[in-house]
Amino acid sequence: MNQVILEYFSSFTAMHYVIIAMNLLLLLLARPIILKTAGSLSRRQIDFRVSVLRVLNLAILAAICYNAIYTGVEQNSNDDQGFAIKLISILVVLYLAYLASNIASYVMRIKYGKTNNSGDSLQISDTYRSRMLTLVASTVITIIVFIAVIRIAGFSSMLEAGGAIGFVGVFLALTQQAWAPDVISGLVLLNSEMLSEGDLIEIGDSDPILVRVFKTKIFHTVLIDIVNNHRIMMSNSKLRDQTIHSLSKFASAKGLREKLSFKIGYDTNSIDVKAMLQEAFETVAQADESSIDNAHPLEIRVLETGDHAVEWGVFYYIKDVSEIVAIRQRLSEEILEASHRHGISLSTPKTHVVTIEPDTPASVRVG
């Protein structure tokens, strides 16, 4: 038994041991390397990239052992050893390409990314320029790997290589409707700087939803629903077709200008309405000075004089847009409590039309 093991290991050369040692080292360092270049990737994405590197390492180790042991013992040096060397070369090229792609993404993010303050730590997120350069670098690496694999596999003639490249070109042309609109829309969104990671936006017009941009990728954008606290994945082309309100990029130095509207009956005096709304606002502003800007006076305006009630608008400024939902809820609740103290109803009155006489066209409106 020992003799057989010695015969197997005698077929290993110094080069085999060097390659095996390097692969074992890279196998152990796979996670630190990915964590260093990961940026703001999720744990699941990091685990996937680590697994890809380790699978390639194990495949290289298996190919090395096949080349050293099987071809050495069976003496099928011409065919088997040639196949093993080609397999090892292809796996090494794929490993180096995947590693180079991660490093290129890290370098572009460091050099051209945007630095954001997140609590006590600094985070560097992608910008249009860094994402574009990363895409260009990945494309160049992919082309180089594709040509290298073709050459290593033995497609030496121009006809064979051209046929393989042509097949890829036809495949991309036939599938461009599935990926091209999302890629172009993603680059347009990044270039517009309307959807920076961490921004708070509203999507839609009739029934807008309030979301935070988590990450804009090549094919889709991941959003976080602020109200329901869950993630939403939306294709870039569909997101680009939506009306986007960027709440984080307000146009005034005062902060984000917010509005709450209430319908109050015509029988209520305007002075009483303003006093009630002002009292509720001051109560909330004093309790939360860090989120609401109480340095600027509350704006109370009549938005519409409808058939049933007067629609009043309350305009105020927010310092911290991340608290927008909590502020809306607290202010609405305080206005409700203040309406009870002032004896003002916030329910929309009903108006009935009563005809006095059948032959008389005039009517009396009763509130």
Q: Domain limits of the chain? A: 2-174, 189-246, 256-342
Alpha-carbon distances of 344 from 300, 306, 339, rounded to whole Å: 16, 18, 5
pLDDT recorded at residue 314: 92
Distance CA 241, CA 63 (A): 49
**Are the C-beta atoms of 218 and 235 separated by less than 8 Å?**
no
Distance CA 313, CA 317 (A): 13
Alpha-helical (H) ranges within the chain are 2-10, 14-28, 30-37, 43-65, 71-74, 79-112, 128-153, 158-174, 176-192, 236-241, 270-287, 324-342
Q: Which CATH class is domain 256-342?
A: alpha beta
Distance CA 351, CA 2 (A): 101
CATH of 189-246, one of 2.30.30, 3.40.50, 2.40.128, 2.40.50: 2.30.30
pLDDT recorded at residue 256: 85
| Of 258, 296, 299, 305, nearest in space to 277 by CA | 299
- CA of residue 88 relative to chain centroid, distance: 37
pLDDT recorded at residue 109: 81
Ranges of the chain with pLDDT below 50: 1-2, 4-5, 73-76, 159, 363-367
- CA of residue 82 relative to chain centroid, distance: 46
pLDDT recorded at residue 360: 53
Distance CA 145, CA 306 (A): 68
pLDDT recorded at residue 365: 46
pLDDT recorded at residue 333: 92
Q: Is 350 helix (H, G, I), strand (E, B) or coil?
A: coil
Look up residue 304 and give its DSSP letter: E
Maximum Cα–Cα distance across the chain: 120
Look up residue 323 and give its DSSP letter: G
pLDDT recorded at residue 162: 59
Q: Which residues contact 172 (CB under 8 A, 6 or more apart)?
A: none
pLDDT recorded at residue 337: 92
